[in-house]
A and B are shown apart, each in its own frame.
Chain A
């Protein structure tokens, strides 16, 4: 009675969520770097203006990255909003997992089979 593989729960970590996480890591890194640069400038360690230049570059990068992260968030949040209407459905479960799942299909199938059996009783 060999059986095939059955997927019981499937969580998909989507590219958008992954990209958002990476972007946020980069933002945190830049912010830390800026704090360090500001400290050095304040301590008078920037005679040649090297740190000030880097700080300026970082600020531009930070602005870009913040914009990108906002876009990713918007995508995630929009999907949650779009799916809210179907509360309690599989689609809503996926939405609750904020883009990260296409879960539960196989369980749904099992439940449907259970319902069919109950109907035959």
Chain B
């Protein structure tokens, strides 16, 4: 196994370990973040990336989302999250018999989405108030250590072989 292959294996293992941690910690919703992690080789660089797309920024896995500006249509984004996460919603029944725009289920989901979106905007996510450091930090530290090790060993071996 050559040097490059070794590094690619370490990056691949780091990716798989991060995905396992996300799932084990129960912080997965749609699974888009996990799917977006990739090991690629590009212009002489070996990279572990989170590819662009409809997924949250990587660091939110540990540091959450701080209070502040939210994107346009944030309520709809949260509504989508509630649905893919499969959260149970307390049904709020209608009090009148006139025709309604939404079903009771959808109205309840929208109410919950609105409340969550407002809380995130005002206070940030729970994880932003209670950061964790066990999703990717130890794995990346370990990966960098392993790569350092094989790089140094490779230089030493090169010198010894001659």
Residues in A lying within 8 Å of B, measured CB to CB: 1-15, 20-21, 24, 27-28, 66, 69, 73, 76-77, 93, 96-98, 100-101, 103-104, 106-107, 109-111, 113-114, 117-118, 120-121
Bound-complex Cα distance A10 to B143 (A) = 11
Bound-complex Cα distance A13 to B151 (A) = 10
Q: A12-B45, A100-B151, A120-B66 are in contact. Are A6 and B58 (CB under 8 A)?
A: yes
* B161 within 8 A of partner (CB): yes
Residues in B lying within 8 Å of A, measured CB to CB: 3-4, 7, 11, 14, 37, 44-59, 62-64, 66, 71, 77, 124, 128-129, 131, 136, 140, 143-144, 147-148, 151-152, 154-155, 158-159, 161-162
Q: A6-B57, A104-B144, A114-B62 are in contact. Are A97 and B49 (CB under 8 A)?
A: no
List, in ascending order, chain B residues with CB within 8 A of A13's CB: 3-4, 44-46
Distance (whole angstroms) from the CB of A81 to the closest CB of chain B: 12
Q: Is the CB of A6 within 8 A of B50?
A: yes
Q: Is the CB of B148 within 8 A of A93?
A: yes
Contact of B158 among A24, A101, A118 (CB under 8 A): A24
Q: Is the CB of A8 within 8 A of B49?
A: yes
Q: Is the CB of B45 within 8 A of A10?
A: yes
Distance (whole angstroms) from the CB of B77 to the closest CB of chain A: 5
Q: Is the CB of A9 within 8 A of B55?
A: no
